Structure 1
């Protein structure tokens, strides 16, 4: 990886913003990735096989707060990073500093530095765009995949109208309220403390470049810069024999139907105990315990 990150203008959210967050008692952990600091949660036995929980847009590891203890209590090492630009991780201030490939490089460095192997991937939203590529490019390091409300687009499929509206809003709206966005994407109503927690990483608009950038980075054309790499990842996934579980929700207009598509296309999805959970786009808010139990059940069947 090059040294461009070292000359990026970035901001670091003050620690005080994260004081006394509701249901988020986890100790912070950090790793440096090419001059930027990435935060991650690391719970459960340190010598256990890792469960890598990857969040999407515009959330952070707080999204998994009710799932982390359930999986850790089952004896798994749960690692939930905050992507660069989100949560407690550093945040480059220019939208142009974010690209699909750069996020991939950051995540590759992350699993390399933590020396993660025998990984069970859990991913949703942009966590899937990054996580599925990561697994396809490091197949020997992953032993199972769980996808909820996520996909690996190549730009060869039609984009849902709901996504186009979302992309335009993210790029052009002067008002970008992170907590309220997550509230709208959930079935249940988030409490004021939960809204505060989701807003905590973003004290001002200067901190939101990464959150605004993600929708425009989704491949929506066959000639998108990320399309070819994603097609290559699909070639790997089409031969993926390891367990592949879908845990989509019943109320997400953006990823609806993606579970059936992946079950048909990925060999490892055959005969798995796929579940449909109650919830909106952010199913971790609506069905966190059933989601976590589905992960634990899958892992219990692994050699």
Structure 2
């Protein structure tokens, strides 16, 4: 197996992405090490906010939200998951597991943001972040979730997700920028599509993106079911502000918000919303509404003045 480093030449002059690079070595297991890239914007002593991306995006997805959130008083931290963005990419799809992704992200969080933090998560950012919040609820001040869930088997999934999983597995063409463009209601410019393509110059670099949909624990025999069931015990009792802002035009996860709001204590009485003209990648379609939701929950939690 090879571990692919990013090509800096592919990341020059990205539109609306003026952020400084930050890096952390991650123990991948099996004696392997990788570099994880992340954004760290805003004053170091400001309330930290974790911004977790999903599939098949990277921290570029948060370029519209970060300036709004920094202006509101946050320190914004947005990692590129291993296999995505500027982070290193093992080229073997079978090397990626749910448990490893959680471990890699926890290594980053423990090193960079060990104290209590707020969380915004979407897609696989939620499958990772919600599990972490369920396992260690005391380390999170509030949560805002968009187009995500924490599945525990049962064999139920939307037709949109099942179609996406099969496409990611078997489609001979897997163009990340085009996928991102189709997942937005507002659309992307050619330059933005190229920015989403930048981390993935060839098939080997897409191993993590190909693998992610196959790892979702929908079926009872999938790895991760038992861990998510255990995490739900802590997540259900999470009594700090928990808000869902989902896209009404998301065919993959747009209908899962009630599965979160009905089970999580801190979700009661919050102004949950289905955002109009909003696809799967809500950060592209409604950055202001999502940022306002984060700010409101942080203030309600007493985390942000």
Q: TM-score, normalised by structure 1?
A: 0.95
Which of 20, 30, 33 aligns to 2:26? It is 33
> Higher strand proportion, which one?
2
Q: CA deviation at 1:255?
A: 1.2
Residue 91 of structure 1 aligns with which residue? 89
Root-mean-square deviation (CA, aligned residues, Å) is: 1.0
Say if 2:271 is the partner of 1:277.
no
Checking the alignment, whether the CA contact within 8 Å between 1:145 and 1:245 is kept in structure 2 is yes
Q: CA deviation at 1:221?
A: 1.1
Which of 43, 50, 59 aligns to 2:48? It is 50
Checking the alignment, whether the CA contact within 8 Å between 1:50 and 1:116 is kept in structure 2 is no
- Tell me the distance in 2 between the aligned counterparts of 1:300 and 1:16: 41
Residue 30 of structure 2 aligns with which residue? none
Which of 3, 10, 22 aligns to 1:17? It is 10
Checking the alignment, whether the CA contact within 8 Å between 1:185 and 1:282 is kept in structure 2 is yes
Mapping 1:74-223, distance limit 5 Å: 74-223=72-221
Gaps of 5+ in 1: 1-7
- Tell me the distance in 1 between the aligned counterparts of 2:181 and 2:162: 19
Q: CA deviation at 1:61?
A: 0.5
> How many matched pairs?
296
- Tell me the distance in 2 between the aligned counterparts of 1:225 and 1:294: 33
Gaps of 5+ in 2: 28-32
What secondary structure is seen at the aligned counterpart in 1 of 2:275? coil
- Tell me the distance in 1 between the aligned counterparts of 2:135 and 2:263: 18
Deviations 1:7-31 (CA, angstroms, capped at 9, x unpaired)? x521011111110000000001011
- Tell me the distance in 2 between the aligned counterparts of 1:147 and 1:283: 11
What secondary structure is seen at the aligned counterpart in 1 of 2:107? helix
What secondary structure is seen at the aligned counterpart in 2 of 1:33? strand
| Poorly superposed stretches of 4+, deviation over 2 Å | none
Deviations 1:123-155 (CA, angstroms, capped at 9, x unpaired)? 000000000011112222111111000000111
Deviations 1:248-280 (CA, angstroms, capped at 9, x unpaired)? 111111112211221111110011122222300
Checking the alignment, whether the CA contact within 8 Å between 2:141 and 2:298 is kept in structure 1 is no
Q: CA deviation at 1:84?
A: 0.3
Checking the alignment, whether the CA contact within 8 Å between 2:183 and 2:281 is kept in structure 1 is yes
